[in-house]
Amino acid sequence: MYATRLALALFSLCIAALPRAEVVSASDSHFVVRQQAHSSLPADALWERLVHPARWWNPAHSYSGEATALSLEPRAGGLWLEEWPGGSVAHGQVITIMPGKLLRLDAPFGPLQSLGAHTVWTISLAAAEGGTTVTFHETAVAPPGSGMEAIAAAVDQVKTEAIGRLVAP
C-alpha cells in the first residue's frame, strides 16, 4: 500500500514537471502557441540559463548545428545571434527585458524570416512552489497564403522541446 502511494506520488510529480503545450489558434496567416513548464530552479538561476541560449537551445534547430554559436545580448535592442565561420543570423531582437521575470523578442526564427512574418515571443518566469514556472507565448502573423497553420505545429514542437531543455535540472 505504501509503495503504491509512493509510486503514485512520484508519477504525479513527473507529470507536473512535463511541459504543457498547445497551439492556441492558427490560420493561413497567423498562429499563437503557448508552452508552460515548471523548474525546480529558483527564478534567478533559471534567468541566468535563459539569457545564455547556448546552454539550453537544441543545436539541431540552428543553422550552424553548434549550440556554442548562439548568444543573446540581454538588453532592449540586443540580439539573439548565431555566428559561425560560414555566416550569421539574427534570430531575434530583444524588445522588452525585466531581469528574472520577462524576456520578449521580435523573433521570426527559421522559415518565419523568409515568409516576412512578424513574430513576438514572450518568455515569462514566475516564482512557484518548489521553483519557477516558465511560460513561452508566441504570436506570429504573416502575409495571406503563408501556410502558418502547418508551421504552427512545427513551431510548437520546437518550443516545447526548448522549454523542456530550459527547465531541466
| Per-residue pLDDT tens listing for the chain (169 residues) | 444 444 333 443 443 456 788 999 999 999 999 999 999 999 999 999 999 999 999 999 999 999 999 999 999 999 999 999 999 999 999 999 999 999 999 999 999 999 999 999 999 999 999 999 999 999 999 999 999 999 999 999 999 999 999 999 8
Q: Which domains does the chain have, with CATH numbers?
A: 20-167 (3.30.530.20)
**Per-residue 3-state assignment (H helix, E strand, C coil) for the chain:** CHHHHHHHHHHHHHHHHCCEEEEEEEECCEEEEEEEEEECCCHHHHHHHHCCHHHCCCHHHCCCCCHHHEEECCCCCCEEEEEECCEEEEEEEEEEEECCCEEEEECCCCHHHHHCCEEEEEEEEEEECCEEEEEEEEEEECCCCCCHHHHHHHHHHHHHHHHHHHHCC
Q: What is the pLDDT of residues 11-35, one digit of tens each?
A: 434 434 567 889 999 999 999 999 9
pTM tops 0.75, yes or no: yes
